[in-house]
Amino acid sequence: MNWKDIKVNETQTGYTHHGINLYDKTYFQVLKFHEPGLAPVQDEEGWYHINVKGESHYKKRYRRVFGYYFNRAAVVDVNGFFHIDETGNTLYSDRYSWCGNYQEETCVVRDLEGSSLYLDLNGKPLFNRKFLYAGDFKDGYACIKTEKGWTHINLTGNLLHGKYFSDLGVYHKGFATARDDKGWFHVDRSGTPLYQERYQMVEPFYNGVALVWENDWRMKFICKE
């Protein structure tokens, strides 16, 4: 059975395969299957992962588990957040106040003091730097917040353009949403605004068009050739 064909049922308490119920068991809650064919479930024992046969992947139970990404899953026990590998073994000894999912071979975590940092695939800190906030990498770039404001970094931890904003979004097809003291707009890879106008809110460009909201909250579309 291919795990990609297994779907969460409508009540999110079990799974179906081509419309047929699987495993003859009702869970408290379930999440989707991910590579390498494991899914998070919760029953009266706690949270854990199951394989495509509905079997527990390991004996341990957690307060919470999340899906596998890059064969690593975020889990929570009494000591905090951390990651386990595809065998169910602990990836590292540190504990965090929160863990994200691995994206582009890196993962955002928050330490017990509330600072954000990135981990590599072995669970070791990257860059030797911490941030007020750090977001997932997308297409090689991520948004981070420092005392200077919001900016973008690359996968080596270096600043992409060195410009800071009041708020910031990830790059999508070469452009990112950004905000200054006048409102929202879009910037290119150099951090340069695409136009002079400012809006109450903007969405990323989609096939050359972005939905934006004027100061009176009227919607309109803007184009990027």
Using one digit for the tens of pLDDT, what is the confidence trace for 142-177? 999 999 999 999 999 999 999 999 999 999 989 999
Percentage of the chain beyond pLDDT 90 is 96
Using one digit for the tens of pLDDT, what is the confidence trace for 84-140? 999 999 999 999 999 999 999 999 999 999 999 999 999 999 988 999 999 999 999
Following DSSP, what letter does each residue of 134-191 receive, concatenated?
A: E---BTTEEEEEETTEEEEEETTS-BSS---BSEEEEEETTEEEEEETTEEEEE-TTS
Please, are residues 161 and 151 in contact by the beta-carbon 8 Å criterion? yes
User: What average pLDDT does the structure give for the chain?
Assistant: 96
Q: Please name the fold of domain 135-225.
A: Thrombin, subunit H (2.40.10)
Please, are residues 101 and 74 in contact by the beta-carbon 8 Å criterion? yes
Q: Which residues pair with 131 in a beta bridge?
A: 116
d(CA 95, CA 112): 8
pLDDT category of residue 1 using cuts at 50, 70 and 90? confident
Listed residue (71, 55, 65) closest to 1, CA to CA: 55
Inter-CA distances, 223 with 80, 170, 199, 214, Å: 46, 19, 14, 15
pLDDT category of residue 2 using cuts at 50, 70 and 90? very high
pTM reported for the whole predicted model: 0.91
88: left (phi over 0), alpha (psi -120 to 50) or beta: left
The pLDDT of residue 128 is 86
Please, are residues 43 and 54 in contact by the beta-carbon 8 Å criterion? no
Taking the C-alpha atoms of 52, 138, 77 and 59 in order, what is their torsion angle to the nearest 10 degrees? 20
